[in-house]
Structure 1
Amino acid sequence: MCGITGLVNYEDNALLHDMCNLLKHRGPDSDGFFEDKNVSLGIRRLSIIDIEGGNQPISNEDGKIWTIFNGEIYNYQSLQDGLKSKGHKFKTNSDTETIVHAYEEYDLDFVNHLRGMFAIAIWDEKKNRIILVRDRLGVKPLYYHIKNNKLLFASELKVLLEHHEINPTINHNAISDYLTYLYVPAPETIFNEIKKLRPAEMLVFNLDGNFFTKRYWNVEFQNSNQDEGDYAKQLRNLLEESIDLRMVSDVPVGILLSSGIDSSLVATLATKKSDDKLNTYTVGFEDITDSSYDELKESKDMANILGTDHHEIIVNSNDAFKLLDKVSWYLDEPFGNPTTTLNYIISEFASRTSKVVLSGVGGDEMFGGYPKYKALKIFEDFGKFPKSFVKKFGTVFQKIPDKTSESVVKGKIFFDSWKDEPEDQYFSLVSYFKENDKQKLLNFKALPS
């Protein structure tokens, strides 16, 4: 990953360099700057594509459009070919430069031609505006602060706090949201003075201080008459294409391998696409009490089947606790997923031999692998079940102490979430603290958004 930052309607190059230096952990390979009277851009780069020639910022032919970005454009090669056929001149073979020329060709619609994960900043001197864009699913973060016709932005929240005019105050709505979801949804952040772009959102900021945001993409569901076999074939083709695009790299690619279907499938397809022996990585636990969480044997078996160069790291509970302060510093905001520290450990371990890793993260969300999705299916299948019976059964569960077993706790959540509307059912299933519990805990009510 890379780290980007910038100032609009500021003249403070020292601040820009301080902000950029704070992103060095995101981009240890090089830094780059564009410094003008009205706009300054900075980047810390992790080199993946066109290692020697792909340094940023990068401009178009006449130097009137500049860009920096964090992420990867997977279809940059085909996009580059199309832009060349339209007369655009490229001076590098990097995916970054395709962004500049795509914007030059398609204006704000350029983002709909990109396939990838990205946080992008484009300075257009001709139109006196800067464009900030976040990828469709929000893989790459982008924070910003707007005040008095001035804009600051960065890949991480802490970077914006380098500016002395930002005096952060706690956002109570964000705390309330965190206790519901265990993270702070965009556009809010933990501080009132700083926002973050939503997934699939674009911010256009003009030098006169006027700005607007817009959503450029959304998920669309379509009815189809295809049978299960057709869907399976289409899914396989899409997975193979997806892996193929992500294997394009000028540095070694590895796989985070667990014992699950998702990462095993990714590893299988990646192995078929690679001419080189791939590295795979698994984390195990020294003091584990529940063997169902130990994935070492199954992942090693899969690695042997695929013929990968397999690496294992064994951790204990103390290893995770020792890293809490460091991981919290990287996260910037409250984030309650207990696997975060383990993700840091395995990623740091993998980075010693691979600069890029693929994983199966997202598979459960795409294919309904979590218990909450199964609960929603039950609610749908038994929607006409007598509500009085459901309520009575739920009341029985409420009388059983939580400490009895984990199944009792899950049962309480299940029956409490059996509501009339699907939206209410889902919200109840994903909520960690209910509204009355939050008010007791925080002693304040969530403010209207």
Structure 2
Amino acid sequence: MCGITGSVWLRDNQCVDDALISRMTDVISHRGPNDSQVWSDREHRDGQGNPMGVALGFRRLSIIDVEGSRQPMGNEDGRVQMVFNGEVYNYRDLRQRLQGTGHRFATEGDGESILHLYEDLGTDCFSHLNGMFAVAIWDARKNRLVLARDRIGQKPLYYSWKNERLVFGSELKSLALVPGVCEQIDPAAIDQFLTYQYIPHPGTIWKGVHKLPPGHFAVLDNQGFRVERYWDYDPSQEIALSHADATSRLQELLSDSVRLRMRSDVPLGSFLSGGIDSSLITALAGDHTATPLRTFSIGFPIADFDETAYAAEVASHLQTDHTRFEVTPDAIDILDRLVWHYDEPFGDSSAVPTWYLSQLTRQSVTVALSGDGGDELFAGYDRYRALWLSQKIQRLFPVHRTPGLGLIQRLPDSNRRRSLIRRGKRFLEAIEQPAVRRYLNWLQIFPESLRASLYTDDFVAELPDEDPIAFLESAWSRSEGRDLVTRASTADVLSYLPCDLMTKVDIASMAHGLEVRQPMLDHRVVEFAASLPVRYKFRGRRGKLLLRDAFGDRIPASIFTRPKMGFGIPIGSWFRNEFRSLVNDTMLAPDAAIHRFFRPEAVSSLVTAHQSGEQNHGYRLWNLLILETWLRQSNEV
């Protein structure tokens, strides 16, 4: 697990010198505190004698082959150079195969298998990798640079191709150091951020700077720059499989995925929230340890947000070496650091507890397993049940005749995390809409009408003629013909999972030099889950049925029936108490940076309505505060 940077330029006056590459590399030293290297070839010329300079930078967090596997790494003759962030879990199988065809390995690490596989297969090599990765390969023989990102988007990779110069890196902050790259904010990105609380790929907050989409590679060569997909699957197709065979296959796939992710030359543990997914992963990981597995949970002094009692129950059942951290989250204290690490506006407030959990876990281990992906793959979210229920209601009677609809909508919001009133209001607000827009209504932070009331006329004029929902609609359309629960979960796998959850975990963990591995997101498990009939995963308002059927004997039965809590913090309360002064000094100040886009009176109205208890705008205010903080930081760069 590491951080990568680099550049290729086709004109000598666009050269990125070693000093700049070193700064680009050092600014992400948190991703790799163990080693730093730069490699360059500034004299390279292509077949026509045109300049094609290249420089690669690398920061290393040593996980496998701790003493070896330094990067940038070259092949036998040095004509192919690579920097790689992530883990290839099937590297031993690949290594054996490659040695059989005559390749000589200089290290014991996983990364070298990519290098030699590329020599044999070119860009087809990426479809043979089981892992999480962002990789850059310079091929002097073919005068080209290849970038690639793993199938699910667990590892980030940003790039900018401008003025015949390509720059790339694991984090945007590396690119921001290169003059002429991060210059102009993209208005569409602001609109997307307020919709989703993240900026969807391939865009970023900066015009002309992009995220390489999951499952894609990019090539820069004599024909120019292009991006291509190397992995795809068809979630519109459902396989005919008996329940017994589905159960057996899931047991085989997930158990093998965990086994592969237990390979490490440094201390390894597991996040344990006490939910179904982390409990199952922890149980399966225990099969591969001779001593009790180290497990970690984090608690808060507010009952609505503390599920560590469930984690303790599972830890006792599995006999793990369990550590419970308790913190009083101080978002004011970490806000600036959080925003700096995420590089662009990112509004998922669960980044705060993820930050603390990663920070504290890193004191004991360098690698942690996580249950991420179980909700999306096996229909675990409450919003899937809401979608299913809304379809039932629509079939029974017209929604505008729902008894008490107007009364419920006029009820005041509650601060309680699982308030039935708040959830009921959100449900009824969307029930008359088409399914995909109904689903977006439950996902979005600022609905379209509220965004419109917030934006200044000048900002509206800057917005392109495109609807932010197009990103979700594109993901939704991939499972055409399937049931609504499958369509929603597929859309989440292709949008929310890489853009929100993977970003949140990668940045929060790597900020502390912690590698997080997610066995549920093995591409074999993802493809298998997508092909299953919905009745195997979801039935009668209950999800994750196949997980229970396959592994129900491994963890306490109560874990499958406990209320789902998620991973949150008391945002609503903070904006009525701890954040009052901060809000007044930033978002409501005369020089507030967000006034560039939003009407001051509209922002003030949101704050007043929330602080008076009239409405709960906690998550909306958090996103505005994140944006305000990011804008202030970006102006200082």
Does TM-score exceed 0.5, indicating one fold?
yes
Does residue 24 (structure 1) correspond to residue 48 (structure 2)? The answer is no
Mean Cα displacement is larger for which, 397-406 or 117-126?
A: 397-406
Aligned counterpart, 1:148: 163
Shift of 1:165: 2.5
Question: Any stretches of 5+ residues in structure 1 without a counterpart?
Answer: none
Alignment of 1:206-245 (within 5 A): 206=221, 208=222, 210-221=224-235, 222-245=237-260
Q: Does the 8 A contact of 2:182 with 2:209 survive in 1?
A: no
2:131 pairs, out of 116, 121, 125, with 116
Counterparts in 2 of 1:52 and 1:404: CA distance versus 1, 3 Å = closer
Q: Does the 8 A contact of 2:393 with 2:399 survive in 1?
A: no
Amino acid at match of 1:324: L
2:431 pairs, out of 403, 418, 437, with 418
- TM-score when normalising by structure 1: 0.94
Aligned counterpart, 2:364: 353
2:210 pairs, out of 192, 195, 205, with 195
Shift of 1:426: 2.3
Does residue 398 (structure 1) correspond to residue 412 (structure 2)? The answer is no
Alignment of 1:296-375 (within 5 A): 296-318=308-330, 320-375=331-386
Deviations 1:175-223 (A, max 9, x none): 11111111111111111132111111211112x4711111222232332
Instruction: Give the whole-Å Cα distance in 1 for the aligned partners of 2:170 and 2:365.
Output: 23
Instruction: Give the whole-Å Cα distance in 1 for the aligned partners of 2:37 and 2:284.
Output: 36
Amino acid at match of 1:342: P
Q: Does the 8 A contact of 1:41 with 1:68 survive in 2?
A: yes
Counterparts in 2 of 1:139 and 1:390: CA distance versus 1, 3 Å = farther
The percent of aligned pairs where both chains have the same amino acid is 40
Does residue 428 (structure 1) correspond to residue 445 (structure 2)? The answer is no
- TM-score when normalising by structure 2: 0.67
Deviations 1:270-309 (A, max 9, x none): 01111233211111113x1xx2432222212322222222
RCO higher in structure (CA 8 A, sep ≥6): 2
Amino acid at match of 1:181: Y
Aligned counterpart, 2:91: 76
Mean Cα displacement is larger for which, 390-399 or 138-147?
A: 390-399
Does residue 13 (structure 1) correspond to residue 30 (structure 2)? The answer is no
Instruction: Give the whole-Å Cα distance in 2 for the aligned partners of 1:6 and 1:76.
Output: 25
Alignment of 1:94-173 (within 5 A): 94-173=109-188
How many residues end up aligned between the 2 structures? 444
Q: CA RMSD in A?
A: 1.9
Shift of 1:414: 1.4
Mean Cα displacement is larger for which, 385-394 or 62-71?
A: 385-394
Q: Does the 8 A contact of 2:69 with 2:107 survive in 1?
A: yes
Counterparts in 2 of 1:393 and 1:79: CA distance versus 1, 3 Å = farther
Counterparts in 2 of 1:345 and 1:385: CA distance versus 1, 3 Å = same
Shift of 1:11: 4.1
Bigger strand fraction? 1
Deviations 1:18-67 (A, max 9, x none): 11111111000101222111100010000111111211111122211111
Counterparts in 2 of 1:426 and 1:219: CA distance versus 1, 3 Å = farther
Instruction: Give the whole-Å Cα distance in 2 for the aligned partners of 1:204 and 1:448.
Output: 30
Q: Does the 8 A contact of 1:253 with 1:356 survive in 2?
A: yes
Instruction: Give the whole-Å Cα distance in 2 for the aligned partners of 1:109 and 1:383.
Output: 47
Question: Any stretches of 5+ residues in structure 2 without a counterpart?
Answer: 10-14, 43-52, 467-637
Amino acid at match of 1:136: R
3-state SS of paired residue (1:44): strand
